[in-house]
Amino acid sequence: MPENLFDIIKLTEIAQCFYECTSVPVTVFNEKMEILAEAGRDQKICKFFDIYNSRGPCTKVLKFSGEMALSLGEPYIYSCPAGFLNLCVALISEKKFRGCFIAGPISMNTISEKNINAIMDLNKNSSGTAGMFSKLSLFIRDMPVYSPARISSLARLLFNNVLSLYSDRADYLYLSNKYDTYTHISETIKKHKEEQRLTPEAIRQSNSDDRIRELLKRIQAGDHSGSRDLIRLILEDILITEAGNFEIMKIRLFELYMSLSRAGVESGASIQKVFGIQFELVSSLTKIYTLPELHLWSQQVVDHFIDNVFSTIYAGHSLIIINAIQHINTNYMTKINLRNLANLLHVNESYLSKLFKQEMGKHFTDYINEIRINKSLSLIRDTDNNLLDIAVAVGFEDQSYYTKIFRKVMGVTPKQYRNGNSQTAPS
């Protein structure tokens, strides 16, 4: 083992330098997932809770990610239980895992109240959670959003910083070469299987393609029952075609998910709407190990695209308003005004106002207020958060204004709605 591998001063120096250059927090763990060094702790949302207990979900994900980084010999980017991204680089000696650097948590998408609820759920048994919802809301609003390209660059930078600990990089080169070899063998076997594919299998694939096209039509039509029946048949096709190879089956279903995603985007849905703020469905697929779980996941995909993607696609003809609606639906919890939106879309403010009213049948302010009120309904129904916290979470800064708009939209006050005197939310 390199004699400076667990030099706390050296580890802290690397973590601090990375943080000061990138503003991304860094935590260094040993092989038992005990913290050795930290930089930028105040910028980690994890600071609000004690997440690193030995039986907690965060520690389990940390261990798994460290093992993945070890097997790759490369940086591993993973999603934590709260849905944020983290960058993991393993500390390796004698081809064994000795600890890891974790940079994050960071986000690749606009952050919503769903993030906050996920964090609260993970820590619902922690002490001191009262009043935490509003603190988390304010903290999350200030978190930067990173592009995929920048996240990749950050991972490479962290990897190179960790390599500075080593005078001999044989461990990393061995693991990286081993991973490349396995990947090449896997691709060769797959290519050989494709070349030897028999006619009956080709016929089954053709039938599967027809079913996928029919599935898309039923999803677009909002047909839950028909879509669920079809996804069951598609799963059976995949099971037969892949001869029960579970990992390949997961890949095939992921390819189906991507096909539906492309159709959604081409129809006008935003990337955030298609994949979800937290990439929940995508990340959950990696944690599935049984056929019943895979079947349930495929049904959740169907429900997701019916309820959250195609049902929300704007049916008008103006590209400007399509982009405006996508931006509002994604960023409703932040400060949005007509002037800033017009600048974002590179159009005149008065023209945008007139076009919005013409195509949507309501003023810009009324539309965004209704979106925010509708988003607040589930928080009122399903949480005990106070009304101020809820107002802040959906984009209102003033509780009295929130109550006024809520009464205008719903016909009752938020308190009356919570007490059961609710009316149907507007479409």
- DSSP one-letter string for 173-190: HHHHHHHHHHHHHHHHHH
pLDDT confidence bin for 201, thresholds 50/70/90: very low
Tell me which range, 129-133, 263-267, 298-302, 422-426, is most confidently predicted by mean pLDDT.
298-302
Q: Which residue has the higher pLDDT, 285 or 102?
A: 102
The whole-number average pLDDT for the span 204-219 is 74
- DSSP one-letter string for 56-88: SHHHHHHHHHHHHHHHHTS-EEEE-TTS-EEEE
Residue 15 in this model has a pLDDT that exceeds 90: yes
The whole-number pLDDT of residue 73 equals: 74
Domain 319-418 is of which CATH architecture? Orthogonal Bundle (1.10)
The whole-number pLDDT of residue 39 equals: 93
Residue 293 in this model has a pLDDT that exceeds 70: yes
Chain-centroid distance of CA 132 in Å reads 22
Tell me which range, 82-96, 105-119, 179-193, is most confidently predicted by mean pLDDT.
82-96
Amino acid identity, position 205? Q
Give the single-character DSSP code of 309: I
How far apart CA 276 and CA 114 sit, in angstroms, is 10
The whole-number pLDDT of residue 103 equals: 93
The whole-number pLDDT of residue 419 equals: 84
Q: Which residue has the higher pLDDT, 27 or 71?
A: 27
How far apart CA 367 and CA 353 sit, in angstroms, is 12
pLDDT confidence bin for 397, thresholds 50/70/90: confident
Residues 6+ apart with CB under 8 A from 23: 40, 43, 144
Residues 6+ apart with CB under 8 A from 288: 250, 294, 297
* Domain spans in the chain, listed from the N-terminal domain onward: 8-176, 197-312, 319-418
Residue 40 in this model has a pLDDT that exceeds 70: yes
Computed over every residue of the chain, the mean pLDDT equals 76
Of the listed ranges 125-134, 313-322, 356-365, 379-388, the one predicted with least confidence: 125-134
The rounded percent of the chain whose pLDDT value lies above 90 is: 12
CATH code 1.10.3470 for 8-176: no
Q: Which residue has the higher pLDDT, 119 or 383?
A: 383
The whole-number pLDDT of residue 303 equals: 82
Q: What is the pLDDT of residues 327-373, one digit of tens each?
A: 888 888 888 889 889 888 887 888 888 888 888 888 999 999 988 99
pLDDT confidence bin for 21, thresholds 50/70/90: very high
Amino acid identity, position 295? H
Residue 19 in this model has a pLDDT that exceeds 90: yes
Q: Which residue has the higher pLDDT, 81 or 109?
A: 81
Radius of gyration of the chain (CA): 25
Count Cα atoms within 13 angstroms, Cβ side, for 227: 21
pTM equals 0.44
Chain-centroid distance of CA 302 in Å reads 18
Q: What is the pLDDT of residues 184-194, one digit of tens each?
A: 444 544 454 45
Q: How many CB atoms lie within 10 A of CB 351?
A: 11
pLDDT confidence bin for 25, thresholds 50/70/90: very high
Helices (H), 268-411: 271-275, 280-285, 291-304, 319-331, 338-345, 349-360, 364-382, 387-393, 399-410
Asked if 58 contacts 35 with a C-beta cutoff of 8 angstroms, the reply is no
The whole-number pLDDT of residue 16 equals: 93
Q: Which residues pair with 78 in a beta bridge?
A: 86
